[in-house]
Amino acid sequence: DEHSSDGRGVYERLVLDSLQGFIINCERRSRQEQKLRKIRGLRRDGSPVVIPDGGVFANEEMELDDIYLMESEEDGNDTGFGL
């Protein structure tokens, strides 16, 4: 068993959880940048957006599936994985 009582698989689970958290935080930052661009009337040319003190909001539940499903809907792709 990959998750046996001797702790094997724990490191892999921690790495996976960390990566998922990083991806979700990146998506949250991207969303907040888009909102700030719209509020401030900035173009979407890649210029940096200053996030206010307090950082990126985590006021909505988000999972990786949500991100993949949003991207597939935007691209007109029903797989969500760019295939």
- Between these two residues, 39 and 3, which has the higher pLDDT value? 39
Q: For residue 39, how many other CB atoms are within 10 A of its CB?
A: 8
- pLDDT score at 15: 92
pLDDT digits (tens, 9 = 90+) for 27-61: 889 889 988 999 988 887 877 888 889 888 787 78
Place of tokens 């990146």: 26
Kindly report the number of other CB atoms within 10 A of residue 70's CB atom. Answer: 14
Answer whether residue 22 shows pLDDT above 90: yes
pLDDT score, position 76: 65
What integer is the mean pLDDT of 2-18? 77
Residue range 60-79, pLDDT digits in tens: 788 888 777 766 666 665 54
